[in-house]
Amino acid sequence: MVEHINKYETIFVIDKDKSEEETNEIVEKFKSLIASAGEVESVDVWGKRRLAYPIDDKNEGFYVLVNFTAKPDFPKELDRVYGITDGIIRSIIVRKDEE
């Protein structure tokens, strides 16, 4: 049976009140989590940006975009870990269409 691998991109927003060291630790945590289940293609740190709307009375967040490949069951686990990680205020995972 052939393993099916999909391409994904995820954006997560880290609480801007976290220190630079804590922010870097969170980014590294997710890079290594993704790498353990697939392959990280690129990491694009956008930095602090204004949120489109306030979340928990916050107007800014630290944005990170990651492109990766993984098996179809991994995004559910990644989303679960986003939900239980202190400092993540929003996240989204999108499957990219094959070109």
* C-alpha count within 13 angstroms, C-beta hemisphere, residue 58: 18
Structure tokens at 82: 């986003």
Number of domains within the chain: 1
Closest CA to 6 of 68, 53, 58: 68
CATH number at residue 31: 3.30.70.60
Q: Is the pTM of this model over 0.75?
A: yes
Residue 85 lies in a domain: yes
Residue 73 lies in a domain: yes
Structure tokens at 38: 């697939």
Structure tokens at 53: 């709307």
Residue 1 lies in a domain: no
Q: Supply the range of the domain harboring residue 84.
A: 6-96
**Where are the extended beta strands (E) located within the chain?**
6-15, 38-55, 58-70, 88-96
Predicted confidence (pLDDT) per residue in 22-61, tens digit? 999 999 999 999 999 999 999 999 999 999 999 989 999 9
Predicted confidence (pLDDT) per residue in 61-92, tens digit? 999 999 999 999 999 999 999 999 999 999 99
* C-alpha count within 13 angstroms, C-beta hemisphere, residue 14: 24
